[in-house]
Amino acid sequence: MHKAGDLVLGGLFQVHFTSIPDLSFTSQPQQPTCHGVYVLGFKLAQTMAFAIDEINRNSNLLPNVTLGYTLYDNCLELGIGFRGALSLASGQEDQIVVDDTCVGNPPVVGIVGDSSSTNSIAISNVLGLYRVPMVSYFATCSCLSDRQKYPSFFRTIPSDAFQVRAMIQILKHFGWTWAGLIVIDDDYGLHAARSFQSELSVSGEGCLAYTEVLPWDKDTDELRRIVNVMKKSTARVVIVFEIPSRMISLLEEVVRQNVTGLQWIASEAWAESAVLQTPHFMPYLGGTLGITIRRGEIPGLREFLLEHFYCGRHNNYIFSSRFWEFTFQCRFAPAPAGWLEGGGAICTGQEDLGNADTEYLDISNLRPEYNVYKAVYALAHSLDDMLQCKPGRGPFSADSCATLQSLEPWQLVYYMERVNFTTPSGDQVSFDENGDVVPIYDVINWLWLPDGSTKVQNVGEVKRTAFKGEELILDEDKIFWNFESKKPPRSVCSEGCPPGTHMVRRKREPECCFDCIPCSEGKITNKSSSLECTSCPEDFWSNPQRDHCIPKKTEFLSYHDPLGICLTTTSLLGTFICAVVLGIFIYHRTTPIVRANNSELSFQLLLSLKLCFLCSLLFIGRPRMWTCQLRHAAFGISFVLCVSCILVKTMVVLAVFKASKPGGGASLKWFGATQQRGTVLFLTSIQAAICTTWLVSSSPTPHKNTQYHNDKIVYECAVGSTVGFAVLLGYIGVLAFLSCLIAFLVRNLPDSFNEAKLITFSMLIFCAVWVAFVPAYVSSPGNLADAVEVFAILASSFGLLITLFGPKCYIILLRPEMNTKKAVMGRGIVS
Q: What is the pLDDT of residues 366-383, one digit of tens each?
A: 989 999 999 999 999 999
Could you give the dihedral angle defined by the CA atoms of residues 668, 673, 675 and 681, in that order, rounded to the nearest 10 degrees?
150
CATH 3.30.413.10 fits 2-157+367-426, yes or no: no
DSSP E strands in 312-382: the ranges are 330-331, 345-346
What integer pLDDT is reported at residue 236 of this predicted model? 94
Q: Is the pLDDT of residue 778 over 90?
A: no
Write the DSSP symbol of residue 342: T
Domain positions in the chain are 2-157+367-426, 160-294+438-478, 501-551, 562-824
Q: Is 742 helix (H, G, I), strand (E, B) or coil?
A: helix
Are residues 294 and 427 in contact, defined by beta-carbon separation less than 8 angstroms?
A: yes
pLDDT digits (tens, 9 = 90+) for 532-564: 888 888 888 888 888 888 888 888 878 888 888
Average pLDDT (253-273) is: 92
φ/ψ (deg, to 5) at 543: -75, 170
Tell me, yes or no, if the two domains 2-157+367-426 and 562-824 fold the same way.
no
Q: What share of the chain is helix, strand, coil (3-state, %, to 5)?
A: 45, 15, 35
Cα distance between residue 389 and residue 414, in whole Å: 13
Mind listing the pLDDT tens digit for each residue in 585-643?
888 888 887 776 667 788 888 888 898 888 888 888 888 888 888 888 888 898 888 88
Q: Under CATH, which number does the domain 562-824 receive?
A: 1.20.1070.10
Query: What are 560's strand-pairing partners?
Result: none
pLDDT at 313 over 80: no
The pTM for the full model equals: 0.62
Condensed to tens digits (0 to 9), the pLDDT of residues 442-467 reads 999 999 888 888 888 999 999 887 66
Alpha-helix runs per DSSP H in 176-237: 187-203, 220-232
Say if CB 408 and CB 132 are below 8 A apart.
Answer: no
What whole-number distance in Å separates Cα of residue 711 and Cα of residue 522? 7
Q: Which of 417, 426, 184 is nearest to 294 (CA)?
A: 426
- C-alpha pair distances (Å), 464 with each of 113, 348, 460, 468, 775: 24, 52, 14, 7, 75
CATH architecture of 160-294+438-478: 3-Layer(aba) Sandwich (3.40)
Q: What's the confidence (pLDDT) of residue 710?
A: 76
Say which amino acid occupies 466. Answer: A
- Which among 579, 546, 522 is positioned nearest to 706, based on CA atoms? 522
Helix spans in 461-590 (H): 562-587
Whether the Cβ atoms of residue 823 and residue 817 lie closer than 8 Å to each other: yes
H or E element in which residue 535 lies = strand 534-535
User: How many CA atoms lie within 13 Å of 121's alpha carbon, on the beta-carbon side?
Assistant: 14
pLDDT over threshold 70, residue 215: yes
